[in-house]
């Protein structure tokens, strides 16, 4: 375990829980340069805590795998050293800070036949896993991820800190190359972009709007999307899923548009909203709440990683998917920088 900070502590807890449950995992050691955190971790888990990766590797503990939960800007250095020592890795999101770093990690992993799973844990959110089998042809996404300001993860902007989760999910669901990105982002409380709004259009014609903020007064983590004859709403925090379907009594002009593949998302949104305002399904609409078995996404993510390590199968979230999410995040940063330039905001702006 590299990095026993705010989020690394959650990994430590889950590894220990899996160990205690007899699931074939042993938490052996950690790396943490901060002396107080290192002492706490050593005391709490009864494991050696090294101040550097080199010191860990010199101890020759016969490790198989590790989580990397150090600040994003250090992902590459730490992950590269662990890969070269032959360890499979769960690397917290984003996979790296730069594409060249992500490419280098992929190359090292391929060379050593090692697993690198980026920590896109929303893929293990039970609501997301429940919606995947129901996916048809998502054409319009609306994503909101708002959180209250905490002085953490300030080595990167809100796109690499928070929006990256939604970029990965939408890239997976849309399954089409990105055609165009338009973005605006502003620094509010930190020197980097704290709030961002992005419109992505895919080659398939699918469009996604993303809003992410780490300076909000409320917490929201929602994804809504529209596809022919279906509207889906996911609340990540509540692990809640709502599917509004359209049956045969859909008004003929809408049915014809759907049949022709010309789905007008605004029309579908209006229908769904009207049905919601009326307190239930309207004519031609049906509400479904598919069963979602609750679970801690991080625990499910780590269990999946352990399974990939054991079976040597490709992880559920691959390093190349982590690279794709990073590539889109960097394109968004470039679009935000161009917007800031056009708007005369360059002095306030420092890309992440
Ligand atoms: N999946 C999620 O939902 C989620 C949530 C929060 C953070 N994260 C990710 O986890 C990572 C860590 O974030 P955090 O909020 O825990 O940050 P943090 O600053 O609280 O913790 C990072 C820790 O890594 C240690 N560290 C720094 N350099 C190191 C090195 N070379 N080797 C070992 N340890 C080192 C620091 O001393 C610190 O204790 C980031 O990549 C972040 O994006 C993911």
CA–CA distance, 31 with 54 (Å, rounded to integer): 9
Residue 347 gets the label, from left (phi > 0), alpha (psi -120 to 50) or beta, of alpha
Tell whether 239 and 306 lie within a shared domain: no
pLDDT in tens, 289-324: 889 999 999 999 999 999 999 999 999 999 999 999
Residue whose CA is at the smallest distance from ligand 1 atom 34: 3
Q: Which atom of ligand 1 is nearest to the CA of 7?
A: 16
Q: What is the mean pLDDT of the chain?
A: 91
- Kindly state the tokens that stand for 93: 């999101």
Q: Which atom of ligand 1 is nearest to the CA of 9?
A: 16
Query: Structural domain tally of the chain?
Result: 2
- Provide the pLDDT confidence category of residue 257 given band limits of 50, 70 and 90: low
pLDDT value of residue 86: 98
Residue 173 gets the label, from left (phi > 0), alpha (psi -120 to 50) or beta, of alpha
pLDDT at 224 over 50: yes
Residue whose CA is at the smallest distance from ligand 1 atom 3: 121
Distances (CA, A) of 211 to 138, 197, 215, 250, 291: 18, 4, 12, 31, 28
270 in any annotated domain: yes
347 in any annotated domain: no
342 in any annotated domain: no
Tell whether 79 and 109 lie within a shared domain: yes
Tell whether 224 and 268 lie within a shared domain: yes
Q: Which atom of ligand 1 is nearest to the CA of 121?
A: 1
What 8-state DSSP symbol labels residue 153? S
DSSP string, 36-56: HHHHHHHHHH---EESSHHHH
Tell whether 184 and 280 lie within a shared domain: yes
Helix or strand or coil: residue 312? Answer: coil
- Provide the pLDDT confidence category of residue 352 given band limits of 50, 70 and 90: very low
Tell whether 229 and 135 lie within a shared domain: yes
Stretch 242-255: mean pLDDT: 68
Beta-bridge partners for 119: 92
CA–CA distance, 258 with 242 (Å, rounded to integer): 21
Stretch 29-49: mean pLDDT: 98
pLDDT value of residue 251: 59
pLDDT value of residue 105: 98
Distance 198 CA to ligand 1 centre (A): 26
Tell me the residue range of the domain where 96 lies.
8-119+297-318
Stretch 39-67: mean pLDDT: 98
pLDDT value of residue 126: 98
Instruction: Provide, rounded to the nearest whole percent, the portion of the chain with pLDDT above 70.
Output: 88
Write the CATH number for 134: 3.30.360.10
- Provide the pLDDT confidence category of residue 260 given band limits of 50, 70 and 90: low
Mutate which of 38, 48, 78, 92 to test ligand 1's pocket (most atoms within 8 Å of Cβ)?
Answer: 92
Tell whether 150 and 250 lie within a shared domain: yes
Tell whether 138 and 268 lie within a shared domain: yes
pLDDT at 267 over 60: yes
pLDDT value of residue 351: 47
- Provide the pLDDT confidence category of residue 30 given band limits of 50, 70 and 90: very high
pLDDT value of residue 279: 52
- Provide the pLDDT confidence category of residue 150 given band limits of 50, 70 and 90: confident
Judge whether 30 and 66 are in contact, CB under 8 Å: no
167 in any annotated domain: yes
Distance 67 CA to ligand 1 centre (A): 10
Write the CATH number for 88: 3.40.50.720
Tell whether 216 and 98 lie within a shared domain: no
pLDDT at 153 over 80: no
328 in any annotated domain: no
Mutate which of 1, 2, 4, 7 to test ligand 1's pocket (most atoms within 8 Å of Cβ)?
Answer: 7
């Amino acid at each position: 375990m590299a990095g026993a900070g705010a989020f690394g502590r959650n990994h430590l807890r889950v590894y220990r829980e899996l160990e205690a449950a007899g699931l074939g995992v042993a938490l052996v050691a950690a790396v943490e340069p901060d002396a107080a955190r290192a002492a706490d971790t050593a005391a709490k888990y009864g494991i050696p805590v090294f101040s550097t990766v080199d010191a860990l590797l010199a101890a020759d503990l016969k490790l198989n795998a590790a989580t990397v939960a150090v600040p994003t800007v250090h992902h590459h250095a730490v992950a590269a050293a662990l890969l070269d020592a032959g360890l499979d890795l769960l690397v917290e999101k984003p996979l790296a800070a730069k594409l060249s770093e992500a490419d280098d990690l992929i190359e090292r992993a391929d060379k050593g036949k090692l697993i690198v799973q980026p920590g896109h844990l929303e893929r293990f959110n039970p609501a997301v896993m429940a919606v995947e089998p129901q996916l048809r042809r998502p054409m319009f996404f609306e994503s909101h991820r708002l959180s209250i300001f905490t002085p953490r993860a300030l080595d990167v902007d809100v796109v690499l800190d928070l929006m990256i989760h939604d970029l990965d999910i939408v890239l997976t669901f849309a399954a089409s190359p990105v055609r165009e990105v338009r973005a605006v982002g502003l620094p509010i409380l930190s020197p980097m972009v704290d709030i961002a709004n992005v419109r992505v259009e895919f080659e398939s014609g699918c469009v996604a709007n993303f809003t992410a903020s780490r300076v909000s007064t409320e917490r929201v983590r929602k994804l809504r999307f529209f596809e022919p004859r279906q509207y889906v709403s996911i609340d990540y925090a509540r692990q809640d899923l709502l599917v509004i379907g359209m049956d045969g009594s859909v008004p003929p002009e809408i049915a014809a548009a759907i049949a022709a593949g010309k789905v007008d998302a605004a029309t579908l949104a209006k229908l769904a909203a009207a049905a919601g305002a009326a307190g239930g399904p309207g004519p031609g609409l049906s509400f479904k709440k598919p069963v979602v078995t609750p679970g801690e996404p991080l625990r499910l993510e780590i269990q999946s990683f352990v399974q990939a390590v054991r079976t040597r199968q490709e992880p559920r979230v691959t390093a190349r998917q982590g690279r794709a999410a990073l590539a889109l995040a960097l394109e968004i940063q470039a679009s935000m920088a161009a917007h800031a330039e056009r708007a005369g905001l360059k002095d306030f702006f420092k890309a992440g």
